[in-house]
Amino acid sequence: MIGIVIVSHSKQLAEGVRELAAQMAQGKVPLAVAAGIDDPENPLGTDAMQVYEAIASVYSDEGVVILMDLGSALMSAEMALEFLTTEQQQKVHLCEAPLVEGAVAAAVAAASGSNIQQVMAEARGALTAKATQLGVNTSPSFVSSQEQTTNNQEQTTKEIHLTIRNRLGLHARPAAKFVSTAARFQSQILVSNLTIGTAAVRADSINQVATLVARQGHKLAIAATGVDADEALSALQALIDSNFGEQETPLPHSLLPTPYSLL
């Protein structure tokens, strides 16, 4: 399993990021913290040896991603790499992604079985959803699914339309569950928000799913192409029907489906 190291000047900050990422990844990903220094009067800082020990605690041949907050955290991480063997250094990657969003995106991707290149790409694209919602990123750059599309060109696509019913919509935790469920299947799975007219995005990318801005009452179109398309759609329908494990809140009357709905 890919490991993630969080390097910060503040131990409290790093522990909070780890807690959030661990919850989003459902505890499936090794996460380590290297933060603060052993100085009660001035505890803010970073230590290269701490970073090295954190790397060692989560290291595997699948790779390690290191996320850092400020300048000297990067320097400490670079120094820590010098303690590793040449072979280990090739499998440890310093990532310029934002600390909080990057750690969450990387953890969800790693938990879904993505490889190190995909995990790095998800971390680097972690601000896409926020920028899109704020209207400052009108042309989001997504991880390509071209290879999946090529492999599925001659296979039939199945599609279902489902309504999001939980009160807070497809927020962080449900989105992570949606992504991890989609990632279990070989089929290419695309999802769009029919209510607000979004483009179809990859269902196995937390960054792309977050751009759907799916609220309570919004209708999603989920399309699967591949050998296990039916199983994939059934699993995603069951997840949405269960309100992602959250307490059910009735839809407002204005959002209830009409007899002419595509449900």
Residues with catalytic roles: 9
* DSSP 8-state secondary structure symbol assigned to residue 38: S
Half-sphere exposure of 28 (CA within 13 A, CB side): 17
Whether residue 26 contacts residue 180, with contact meaning beta carbons closer than 8 Å, is answered with: yes
Structure tokens, 85: 């063997």
SS3 call for 32: strand
Q: How far is it, in rounded angstroms, from Cα 238 to Cα 234?
A: 6
Half-sphere exposure of 247 (CA within 13 A, CB side): 1
Phi-psi region for residue 10, left (φ > 0), alpha (ψ -120 to 50) or beta? Answer: beta
